[in-house]
Amino acid sequence: MVKKLLHTRYRVSDLEKTVSFYKDVLGLEEVRRHKSPRGSELVFFRAPGSKVEIEICKFDGSGPVEVGSDITHLAFEVDDLDAFAKHAASRGYPLSDGPTPTGSGSVIAFVDAPEGYEIELIQRKKKVGNVSRRSEDCGGSEIRGCW
């Protein structure tokens, strides 16, 4: 039986462009970088508050990277989806879908990483004490961070 999930891997063609996206757009921490015994260039990232790592791999010997549509994605929680969207767009990565309110009161959106992998952003409905706050509780505020 497995003990725990350690990491997930995404293979890319342009390692440095992808590393820049994960660090500068998503704000992930680069935890290590090395070359594998077979020659793969590997960079590992971790999101704040997470233990599971994301491995970004460049290995030209495997042929071209072909990212299929709607096969896989990573999902990250954000505090303020509007602020994230502005930040990502200012770095050349506008939202590819959303923001979309969900039935639970959360808001989701997507942005595409450089190789075409889809990244989901989730802004959970905010709670004050044991009470969920909805937009009408915020005086009609346009700020999504008030959900």
Q: Which active-site residues does the annotation give?
A: 120
Amino acid sitting at position 49 = G
Residue pair 23/31 in contact (Cβ under 8 Å)? The answer is: no
CB 46 within 8 A of CB 7: no
Per-residue CA distances from 53 to 34, 61, 83 (Å): 14, 24, 25
Only one residue has tokens 């891997």, namely: 9
CA distance 66 to 109: 23
Residues in the chain: 147
Task: Report the DSSP beta bridge partners of residue 56.
Answer: 10, 43
Q: Which two tokens stand for residue 127?
A: 């709670």
Residues 95, 71: Cα–Cα separation, whole Å: 18
